[in-house]
Chain A
Amino acid sequence: MNRYLLRRGVLVGPQLLILLVLSFGLVHLTPGATGGVDLNALSGENIEQMRERLGLDRPLPVQFGDWLWRVVRLDFGDSFIDGQPVREKILDRLPATMLLTGSALVMSLVLAIPLGMVSSLRRNSPIDYGLTVFAFSGVSIPAFWAAIVVIIVFGVELGWFPVQGMESVGRDVESHAVDVLHHLVLPAAVLGLEGTAALTRLVRSSMSDVLVEDYVRTARAKGVTERLVLIRHALKNALLPMVTLVGLRLPTLIGGAVVIETVFAWPGIGRLGWEAVLQRDFPVVMGLVVFTGVLTILGNLLADIAYAVIDPRINLER
């Protein structure tokens, strides 16, 4: 077990290195490394001064080494646009994204487990077919399209939910928390849609596998009630693959957040990244790529460790 953890932990090193090289390389291979064109400020002298000030005139490996050393100290530099530290900018925006992605993830789990179970228990029934259609639509519909549809239906036409930002602007609200939750409903629902759909299918199939296992038959044979059979014996085992999948959902959620935060004007790190790309604000882009990349690597590491801890059947000592 410990050897497994060690081996798994050591793997993180090369993963991180590849991530750092890729994020540095991607940004520096993009044309326009002078920070985009501002016709009003356009003169050769300004551009040269700017390049010098930002260190863009030095050889690439030197820039990489310098950047790496700063990243190790969690210093992602200052934004080209407003001069604020990138770390502060990311930390400022992080709570909004965590609220949004967290809600989406919770929604996915809360909905997918019962829906998947029902689907599995009533296999090939109308309910199962209905849920299958839902699942495949949910996985296939692009998030930006779904977002626009819910905005038109629930925001513009029915007027049930706000469609902009995280809080009401220009009108009094009784409770700030309720106001934020009200704003959260549409973006979280859209962001969680794909996850709900995918996890529903996963629960359905793993539940179906587990239900024909010997230990389930044994449990039933010794007279355990059907409810207990389902929850204690079947579901507990069926949920094992979920641990890995939840870990893997992290990058998907953050990727989806870029779209959702932009469409709903949600002030999170996805928006921050999108705007940074448009403005060619390289320090922010690189900071975010590294930040979310590290999160993903750690998410996977935690999922693997959790998997090993939870499932004693897996022999990791090989």
Chain B
Amino acid sequence: MRTPAPKRVIPGTTIAAATTSTTVSRRTLLTRAAAIGAAGVAVLPGGLGAAPANPGRVQAVVSRQGQAAPFGQIIYAARMSELATLHPFLGRFTSALAVAYHVNEGLVKFSPNFELVPGLASEWTVSEDQRIFTFTLREGVTWHDGQPFTANDVKFTIDTAGATDSQSPAQDTVRTYISSVEAPDDGTVVITLTEPYSPLLTVLAEQLTILPSHLLSANPYDEAFGELPVGTGPFRVAERQTGFVTLEANTDYWGELPFVQTIILRDSPEASAQQAGLLAGELDVIQFSPTTMAGLEAQGYVVFRGLAGSVHGINVDLETPLLQDVNVRKALQLSLDRERIQSVLYANGVLANTVVSPAYGEYHNDALPAVTRDLDAANTLLEEAGWVKGDGDIREKDGQPLKLQYQAWAAQNWQDIAAIAQASWREAGIDVEIVTVELANLADTMSGQFQLATVGWPLTSDAIVGLTQLFRSTELTLAEGGTRNVFGYKSATVDGLLDEAYATTDTAVRAELGRRIQEEVYNDLPLIPFAHPAYQLISQPNVTLDETGAGALSSVGPGFFMNRWRVVEE
């Protein structure tokens, strides 16, 4: 068994709170003004007080099983429009999903280390043929309204998700793979599959959060439930107003209590407003923007960084004749200044060597040799492939120049990446023309109309599913309803490894298969990865976020482990 790779490559930075003093020098004031983008504030006198306020801190009195009672209050910036519904099946935005995940729970849960751990099921067994999953439910669990949680709720939830009018993100999975859900008694659920499908556990953890049948049997998509959902989770929704949603620690929770008593998701739509709110003490946690908030860290505010589960890289169209030679693709990789792209555009992320980010723990293959820029090696590969330098130092072969099209979306970061790529490939004698396309035409563009393009692909919370979407052979293009295999990549080896991975629920075996798939992809290069991005939050000095891990859950984002957030007692 391998040692899992570190979950957070850049650990949450902790800086002594003492630097935020009550007297602010003229210089600090200027820094703040500049940070918000208002240089004209220089006319103001210095020396004004500015301590981050800590409103409404109330010591909670509940204590249980020797666990520290939830304590304090954290106000987290969110967009209320995104929190319109907190129904776990309907929420589309990361913040809504983050709330839903804390209020409602699945049979299985993710630990902050991104491992699957028991949730509402205390244990489960899988039949020899990997088709029958038997879950033993946790005893004595109650919904937030006091009603008992039973196997009926589980059956109701999965049946609802697979119904013809289902709005669940898991509807296709349920219809394809689940043939029946039975509740032989209140404490047992048996799920029978049509064929072995090992990602079931991930789907149960992330998408099939259990709904209360006693409230929703008449209308599973009840609007009132979406506004004030009832779950079994560590937080309950205590209040909802136009400008905020309040979560309170559920002191009857069956598992470890949250550290914080109250989390308020407060409406604050825009980066500069959030920053002002943080500085004025009206917000405790906001999204961190490295470009505009650089000065805040030095003032004592604490930045937390977590690695995301997506991979950003150059997509290669394997049907383009010039790109069918793997040595040309290797030369593209070796000559591409990936370090520069990462340092300029993904300053808080990491350089990507393989498609699966280190956030996936043991699924990440860290044994693959690191690729560094090597122009000489790239030149040699191209010479050997018969590409020699001709007019204007552009390589050619049989009179045909080595000229490629590069689709870059009309957004600044994608254009910057394209410019770096173009310049670095030019040094190896490869002529790349940048074609700007509208982001909205993504599906069309990626359906065979590109030669090279840059895309960030999220890998979903199950690395095997992510690898399937990207690399399993398919005849369909994206626009025809195909997968994310826009490269036209077809590898019998990879398909075989994926089949094996679907047929076993053994995490160690699946991870090993995942690593082998990465090795294939690393050698075949349908995708030249350059970075795994990171998400960042910044908080008041007295708020700690650095146990929240699990960046691979990119569909949910930085709020996925709000139960691990804590307020430091002063």
Q: Do A and B bind each other?
A: yes
Write the nearest CB–CB distance from A57 to chain B, whole angstroms.
Answer: 14
Q: Is B298 an interface residue (CB 8 A)?
A: no
Q: Which of B33, B266, B443 is A165 in contact with, Cβ under 8 Å?
A: B266
Q: Which of B56, B85, B279 is A82 in contact with, Cβ under 8 Å?
A: B85
Q: Which of B24, B92, B478 is A42 in contact with, Cβ under 8 Å?
A: B478
Q: Which of A167, A169, A279 is B264 in contact with, Cβ under 8 Å?
A: A169
Q: Is A140 an interface residue (CB 8 A)?
A: no
Q: Which of B269, B277, B282, B476 is A271 in contact with, Cβ under 8 Å?
A: B269
Interface mask (A32-46 → B, CB under 8 Å = 1, otherwise 0) = 111011111111111
Q: Is B125 an interface residue (CB 8 A)?
A: no
Q: Which of B50, B75, B92, B280 is A81 in contact with, Cβ under 8 Å?
A: B92
Q: Is A254 an interface residue (CB 8 A)?
A: no
Q: Is A163 an interface residue (CB 8 A)?
A: yes
CA A274 to CA B273, docked complex, whole Å: 14
Are A170 and B262 closer than 8 Å at their CB atoms?
yes
Give the residues from 156 to 197 in chain A that come closer than 8 angstroms, CB to CB, to chain B: 156-159, 162-172
Residues on the B chain within 8 Å of A37, using CB: 439-440, 442
Q: Is B63 an interface residue (CB 8 A)?
A: no
Q: Is B148 an interface residue (CB 8 A)?
A: no
Residues on the A chain within 8 Å of B44, using CB: 152-153, 157
Closest-by-CB residue of B relative to A145 is B38
Q: Is B73 an interface residue (CB 8 A)?
A: yes
Are A44 and B73 closer than 8 Å at their CB atoms?
no
Q: Which of B48, B279, B483 is A158 in contact with, Cβ under 8 Å?
A: B48
Are A164 and B276 closer than 8 Å at their CB atoms?
yes
CA A148 to CA B279, docked complex, whole Å: 12
Are A157 and B438 closer than 8 Å at their CB atoms?
no
Residues on the B chain within 8 Å of A164, using CB: 266, 268, 273, 276-277, 280, 282-283
Are B266 and A44 closer than 8 Å at their CB atoms?
no
Interface mask (A72-115 → B, CB under 8 Å = 1, otherwise 0) = 00000000011010000000100010000000000000000000
CA A43 to CA B38, docked complex, whole Å: 43
CA A189 to CA B399, docked complex, whole Å: 70
CA A48 to CA B476, docked complex, whole Å: 15
Are B272 and A82 closer than 8 Å at their CB atoms?
no
Q: Is B4 an interface residue (CB 8 A)?
A: no
Q: Which of B56, B280, B458 has the most CB of A within 10 A?
A: B280
Residues on the B chain within 8 Å of A271, using CB: 269
Closest-by-CB residue of B relative to A263 is B273
Q: Are A170 and B269 also in contact (CB < 8 A) when A32-B440, A44-B447, A267-B242 are?
A: no
Are B243 and A157 closer than 8 Å at their CB atoms?
no
Q: Is A149 an interface residue (CB 8 A)?
A: yes
Q: Which of A34, A41, A169 is B266 in contact with, Cβ under 8 Å?
A: A169
Are A47 and B443 closer than 8 Å at their CB atoms?
yes
Are B84 and A156 closer than 8 Å at their CB atoms?
no
CA A42 to CA B441, docked complex, whole Å: 11
Are B84 and A265 closer than 8 Å at their CB atoms?
no
Residues on the A chain within 8 Å of B269, using CB: 262, 265, 271, 274-275
Q: Are A165 and B458 also in contact (CB < 8 A) when A44-B478, A171-B56 are?
A: no
Are A152 and B438 closer than 8 Å at their CB atoms?
no
Residues on the B chain within 8 Å of A263, using CB: 270, 272-273
Closest-by-CB residue of B relative to A49 is B481
Residues on the B chain within 8 Å of A293, using CB: none
Write the nearest CB–CB distance from A122 to chain B, whole angstroms.
Answer: 27
Q: Which of A38, A82, A84 has the most CB of B within 10 A?
A: A82
Q: Is A155 an interface residue (CB 8 A)?
A: yes
Q: Is B32 an interface residue (CB 8 A)?
A: yes
CA A169 to CA B457, docked complex, whole Å: 37
CA A279 to CA B82, docked complex, whole Å: 10
Residues on the A chain within 8 Å of B443, using CB: 42-44, 47
Are A149 and B38 closer than 8 Å at their CB atoms?
yes
Write the nearest CB–CB distance from A155 to chain B, whole angstroms.
Answer: 5
Q: Is A31 an interface residue (CB 8 A)?
A: yes
Q: Is B244 an interface residue (CB 8 A)?
A: yes
Are A267 and B243 closer than 8 Å at their CB atoms?
yes
Chain A, interface size: which category? 35 or more
Residues on the B chain within 8 Å of A288, using CB: none
Q: Is A282 an interface residue (CB 8 A)?
A: no
Residues on the A chain within 8 Å of B24, using CB: 157
Are A44 and B481 closer than 8 Å at their CB atoms?
yes
CA A46 to CA B172, docked complex, whole Å: 12
Residues on the B chain within 8 Å of A40, using CB: 458, 460, 555
Q: Is A211 an interface residue (CB 8 A)?
A: no
Q: Which of A42, A48, A145 has the most CB of B within 10 A?
A: A42
Residues on the A chain within 8 Å of B280, using CB: 151, 155-156, 159, 162-164
Q: Is A264 an interface residue (CB 8 A)?
A: yes
Are B277 and A267 closer than 8 Å at their CB atoms?
no
Closest-by-CB residue of A relative to B310 is A39
Residues on the A chain within 8 Å of B244, using CB: 169-170
Are B243 and A167 closer than 8 Å at their CB atoms?
yes
Write the nearest CB–CB distance from B25 to chain A, whole angstroms.
Answer: 12
Q: Is B290 an interface residue (CB 8 A)?
A: no
Residues on the B chain within 8 Å of A48, using CB: 481
Residues on the A chain within 8 Å of B523, using CB: none
Residues on the A chain within 8 Å of B484, using CB: 42
Residues on the A chain within 8 Å of B277, using CB: 163-164, 265
Q: Is B321 an interface residue (CB 8 A)?
A: no
Residues on the B chain within 8 Å of A274, using CB: 269
Write the nearest CB–CB distance from A268 to chain B, whole angstroms.
Answer: 10
Write the nearest CB–CB distance from A226 to chain B, whole angstroms.
Answer: 39
Q: Is B40 an interface residue (CB 8 A)?
A: yes
Interface mask (B360-381 → A, CB under 8 Å = 1, otherwise 0) = 0000000000000000000000
Q: Is B6 an interface residue (CB 8 A)?
A: no
Are B480 and A44 closer than 8 Å at their CB atoms?
yes
Interface mask (B461-489 → A, CB under 8 Å = 1, otherwise 0) = 00000000000000011111111100000
Residues on the B chain within 8 Å of A34, using CB: 440
Interface residues of A (CB under 8 A from B): 31-34, 36-48, 81-82, 84, 92, 96, 145, 148-149, 151-153, 155-159, 162-172, 262-265, 267, 271-272, 274-275, 279
Interface residues of B (CB under 8 A from A): 24, 29, 32-33, 36-38, 40-41, 44, 48-50, 53, 55-56, 73, 75, 79-81, 84-85, 92, 241-244, 262, 264, 266-270, 272-273, 276-277, 279-280, 282-283, 438-443, 447, 456-458, 460, 476-484, 555
Nearest 3 Cβ contacts at the A-B interface: A32-B440, A45-B481, A82-B84
